[in-house]
Amino acid sequence: MEPGTIGIVLSIFSATATAIWTVLTWNEQQSAAKEQQRDQVAALYVNPFLIACENLQRRLYDVLNENELEFFKQECQEVYDLGSPEAIELLYVIVIYFGWAKTVYRYGPYTNDRQAIELNRKISHIFSNISDFSSQAFYFSLSQQRSLGQTFVRTVGELNSIYPRFEATSLYKFAEELVKDINRCSPLYQNVRRTIKAIDCANHVEELEGRERLVAVQNYLVDLLSYLEKQEGFSVSNPLHQKASLIGSGISQFHTEMEVVHEIKGRVRLRIPQLRQDESYAEALRSRLQSLASVKTVKINSAAASITLNYSLAVPEAEFKQRVIEMIGQEAR
């Protein structure tokens, strides 16, 4: 090979190596930039949302299954104009969840995550659902959830930033601002008052108005936390999440017939005679079945002693029916 040719070949190899090194370096820089951006988004939106989910599900579990209401009735006798400290704090963790949920699904990395969005939709639907729950305690419409969330999880710093910063109002400030607004005659603040009253009027969890709604919310929160923590690769709580159940609901003593009346893909209707006779059992069963992540809707017709479930087609029919049968027959934890 001629010396000139060798020089040309070496030049080509050198240029190629330089180009490859440049591309590799650029890819590394891009990956590092994306990782840094992901960490920034997690710090701003995901981590606060995870903490809000954990605080709410843990508080609800303690109220529903750990006798927290009884403890506070004995230890904290004081009641202010707005309500007891226990009622205000429980309302606070609910409202802070509303705020961070709105934020994380607008700015965080889960804006297109179907499973996370669906679980959050179910939680929002339970809070805003009137027809499936006998009590309006802990009821907040979708617009009321947004309003409360925006009021108490606020933007701080530059409003036109690509990644705006948000900050939750302190519990003290939350109570202070509620006192200013609680006398309004709007439906929102009527629901706030109704929720506080429900907590303060209950000496035991069996007396808590709206507890069926709270059980369903807590169960979905556990599913949402489990999913998000798996995606993020860490847990915000040490003990494994436990799902709450309805104490004294009668579901733990359930032993009865069950018949599949009709089924098509994504929908099954069951006949359970006890639904016609026992309203508390019907509500307990509704809450338990709504806790299944694959369930979209649960409709009970007490007069016909039937329950209709619409569920995700991603779940095999046989597997879904087995889950339902096991849930109906098992004892409540």
**254 has a pLDDT exceeding 50:** no
Average pLDDT over residues 41-64: 91
Residues 202, 208 contacting (CB under 8 angstroms): yes
Q: With the CA atoms of 252, 253, 256 and 259 taken in that order, what torsion angle do they form, in degrees rounded to the nearest 10? A: -10
Going from N- to C-terminal start, the domains of the chain cover: 33-232, 251-329
Closest by Cα among 311, 310, 308 to 299: 308
The string of DSSP letters for 148-191 reads HHHHHEEEES-TT-SS-EEEEPPHHHHHHHHHHHTT--SHHHHH
Average pLDDT over residues 302-314: 86
The string of DSSP letters for 286-321 reads HHHHHTSTTEEEEEEETTTTEEEEEE-TTS-HHHHH
Average pLDDT over residues 16-23: 69
Average pLDDT over residues 274-289: 83
Question: Which pLDDT band, with edges at 50, 70 and 90, does 301 fall under?
Answer: confident
- Segment holding 23, helix H or strand E: helix 3-41
Residue 241: exposure state from Cβ atoms within 10 A (0-12, 13-18, ≥19): buried
Question: Which pLDDT band, with edges at 50, 70 and 90, does 77 fall under?
Answer: low
Each residue of 142-161: b (16+ CB within 10 Å) or e? eebbbbbbebbbeeeeeeee
**327 has a pLDDT exceeding 70:** yes
Token readout for 245 is 């159940």
How far apart (Å, rounded) are the C-alpha atoms in residues 233 and 13?
Answer: 43
How far apart (Å, rounded) are the C-alpha atoms in residues 92 and 212?
Answer: 19
Confidence at residue 272, expressed as pLDDT on a 0 to 100 scale:
85
Average pLDDT over residues 157-171: 81
How far apart (Å, rounded) are the C-alpha atoms in residues 177 and 57?
Answer: 24
Confidence at residue 274, expressed as pLDDT on a 0 to 100 scale:
79
- Residue 273 C-beta-side C-alpha neighbours within 13 Å: 3
Residues 264, 308 contacting (CB under 8 angstroms): no
Confidence at residue 270, expressed as pLDDT on a 0 to 100 scale:
87
Place domain 251-329 in its CATH homologous superfamily: RNA polymerase, RBP11-like subunit (3.30.1360.10)
The string of DSSP letters for 241-295 reads P-----TTSSGGG-----EEEEEETTEEEEE-THHHH-HHHHHHHHHHHHTSTTE
191 vs 31, 58, 140, 186, CA distance in Å? 48, 23, 7, 9
Specify which of 50-54, 164-168, 262-266 reaches the highest per-range mean pLDDT.
Answer: 50-54
Residue type, 242: Q
195 vs 88, 182, 204, 294, 329, CA distance in Å? 9, 12, 16, 29, 32
**110 has a pLDDT exceeding 50:** yes
Confidence at residue 18, expressed as pLDDT on a 0 to 100 scale:
72
Percent of the chain topping pLDDT 90: 29
What is the CA 210 to chain-centroid distance, rounded? 17
At residue 253, φ and ψ (nearest 5 deg) are -100, 15
Confidence at residue 1, expressed as pLDDT on a 0 to 100 scale:
53
Confidence at residue 10, expressed as pLDDT on a 0 to 100 scale:
64
Confidence at residue 99, expressed as pLDDT on a 0 to 100 scale:
95
**pTM of the entire structure?**
0.67
**93 has a pLDDT exceeding 70:** yes
Confidence at residue 58, expressed as pLDDT on a 0 to 100 scale:
92
